Amino acid sequence: MSLPARIGAIQPFLAMEVMERAFAMERQGLRVIHLEIGEPDFPAPASAVAACRRALAGGATHYTDSRGLPELRAAIAADKGARSGVSLDPERVLVTSGTSPAMLLVFAMLLEPGDEVIVPSPHYPCYPSFVRVCGGRPVFLPGDPETGWIIDPEAVRARCTPRTRAIVLGSPANPTGAIQPREVLEALADLSLILVCDEIYDGLVYDGARVSSALAVGEDVFVLDGFSKRYSMTGFRLGYAIAPTWATRTLQILQQNLFISASEFVQRAGIAALEEGEQTVLAMREEYDARRRLLLDGLRHLGFGIAAPPQGAFYLLADARRFGTDSRKLAFELLERARVATAPGIDFGDAAEGRLRFCYAASRHDLEEALERLAPVLAERSA
């Protein structure tokens, strides 16, 4: 059976490929240090776990309103409004089973076959996949590490054609940790493009950095966020989209048809996380900052190039061309020989080829051991 072209164009998610190979090695009794996947190593907030347990015990195992529990939508609107400085109507909030379904719904609504979406690169590997699955065509815009990966609105304008429908970006970004300044978001909003902004790492920022939400710069803006990263709730699968008023009914209909609703007991956990989970976020951010500095110094000492420390998220995208220009080959060699799992730069687009992404959502002990393991392998390659 032949596959549709839009499906055949989707490439493997290489960070997952590395992780799955690492799992196979672990089943053989080897110890692998995981720096490849973006998953916090902290527990979820105790209040969220307790709320989930109570909800399950109380029989909260049924469908909800497709848009989410009204009390959760109100809590999200209040929380996101406080962080963005924008007054939000809960009617603009759609709760989803993770942030990925939210993105799928948004692009399914926006795109006709052949429509273009500008994707600044390096980018989260799945952005172009969502675009392609929905019949669109990603148009990549390479970034510049010397500017801290800040998007150039004039370069975006030059990429626009009559088929250009939207631009998708992350801020703070995976894999670079870059935060787009408000003036950049404003300039992008002025281009008459729909702005789809992934803000899942909002709150995980360092050195006094602040996130300017896309919600504050225009009306035709979709913001995607969730609980996985900020509250260490990846397995709960709970996210949301905040949409323009004109889009909410269509997204509701799509949610009804494709996903019905997010799990009720998970939504109860989300309410508790918003009400009582701030201390978890603060503790994570403080620890991540210490790990960031440890890994930054260690990678530079090993010979990796890093133009500027990341401002947010929990990744370091390091220039590895001193050790090899094929990032996929290098990542798998380091996995096999040093038993350290990293994400190949090519996973994040051509602009990141020759680089490796290191996730510092791992313990300081693991980071130190990873650096020790990498040293002799890299020294041999460098020689």
The CATH number of whichever domain residue 29 belongs to comes to: 3.90.1150.10
The pLDDT score that the predictor gives to residue 180 is: 97
Residues 171 and 292 grouped into a single domain: no
Q: Is the pLDDT of residue 1 over 90?
A: no
Domain count, the chain: 2
Confidence check: pLDDT of 3 > 90: no
141 and 264 share one domain: yes
Q: Strand, helix or coil at 375?
A: helix
Round to whole Å and give the CA distance between 7 and 113: 13
162: CB partners within 8 A, 6+ apart: none
Does pLDDT of 6 surpass 90?
Answer: no
Mean confidence (pLDDT) of the chain: 96
Q: Which residue has the tokens 């709960």?
A: 236
Q: What angle do CA 38, 43, 47 make, to 5 degrees?
A: 130
pTM: 0.94
Q: Are residues 86 and 227 in the same domain?
A: yes
Residues 6+ apart with CB under 8 A from 125: 13, 14, 15, 347, 348
pLDDT digits (tens, 9 = 90+) for 150-199: 999 999 999 999 999 999 999 999 999 999 999 999 999 999 899 999 99
Q: Is the dihedral of CA 122, 124, 129, 131 positive or negative?
A: negative
User: What residue numbers bound the domain in which 113 lies?
Assistant: 46-277
Considering the domain architecture, whether residues 285 and 244 belong to the same structural domain is answered as: no
Spatial separation of the C-alpha atoms in residues 346 and 350, rounded to whole Å: 6
What whole-number distance in Å separates Cα of residue 245 and Cα of residue 325?
46
Q: Which of 244, 277, 310 is the last residue of a domain?
A: 277
Would you say residue 219 has pLDDT above 90?
A: no
Q: Which of 226, 247, 277 is the last residue of a domain?
A: 277
Spatial CB neighbours of 235, under 8 Å, sequence gap ≥ 6: none
The last residue of one of the domains, among 236, 253, 277, is: 277
- Both 368 and 326 in one domain: the answer is yes
How far are the Cα atoms of 63, 114, 228 from residue 77, in angstroms, in the given order?
22, 34, 17
- The reply to whether 272 and 146 lie within a common domain is yes
Which CATH number covers residue 223?
A: 3.40.640.10
Residue 82: CB atoms within 10 Å: 11
